Amino acid sequence: MAYQIILKKRFVSKLVKVLAYLEKEWSHKVAAAFLKKVDHRIQQLSGQPFTGVPSSAIKDIRAVLITRHNRLYYKVKGKKVIVLNMYDTRMGPKRKKF
Report the pLDDT value the prediction gives residue 96, as an integer from 0 to 100. Answer: 59
Element (H, E) at 15: helix 9-25
Report the pLDDT value the prediction gives residue 63, as an integer from 0 to 100. Answer: 95
57 burial type by CB count under 10 A (0-12 exposed, 13-18 middle, 19+ buried): exposed
The CATH number fitting domain 4-91, selected from 3.30.2310.20, 3.30.70.20, 3.40.50.300, 3.90.1150.10: 3.30.2310.20
Please report, in tens digits, the pLDDT of each residue of the chain (98 residues total): 799 999 999 999 999 999 999 999 999 999 999 999 999 999 999 999 999 999 888 889 999 999 999 999 999 999 999 999 999 888 766 655 55
